[in-house]
Amino acid sequence: MLRCLVLLMLALGTATTLHAGALLAPGDAFPAWTLSDQTGATVSSRDLAGKTYLLWFYPKAMTPGCTTEGDGLRDSFAAFQERRVEIFGVSFDPPAQNKAFVEAERFPFRLLSDDKRSLAVAVGAADSSAQPVARRLSYLVGPDGRVRAVYGSVTPATHAKDVLVDLPAAK
């Protein structure tokens, strides 16, 4: 509903951006997306149909908070794999910068470049395509393409554990 209202406002010229707090809610369809990873390969929501995945938006590669958050996800990677959850980091950094981040921190997951900020604006991680960095937040998307959980207030040091609490343990 909110997305329809925003699109109508854009068409009428009465709005130019989404505003902070315009997050998707559990049960909402997650928008379709295609982004490049740190190697330049494309990844899309279509590729992930039928899978559960976590998209963690982070402000800037190799900064303290982003490194702490990424390291926590890396250190909990096996628990995410046991629960069949794929992890993707998303920032506005170019693939080369994300590649350096992956290599420096030994991340076992891909980092995606939303350089046009289109996905970030669509999901509330940015207010406009002019925003310099992404807002720190995450979405857990289910195999049906719907939002299972929203993490709009992320503490980098505990984020991985916070997400794992919401995932049933493997049987």
Of the residues 35, 66, 134, 141, only one is catalytic, namely 66
Q: Nearest-CA neighbor of 3 among 123, 120, 119?
A: 123
Question: 52 forms bridges with which residues in the sheet?
Answer: 85
Query: Which DSSP letter does residue 48 get?
Result: G
Q: Are 141 and 51 in contact (CB under 8 A)?
A: no
Which tokens in the block code for residue 15?
Answer: 């709005």
Separation CA 45–CA 166 (nearest Å): 21
66 is catalytic: yes
Q: CB count, 10 Å around CB of 81?
A: 14
Task: List the catalytic residues.
Answer: 66
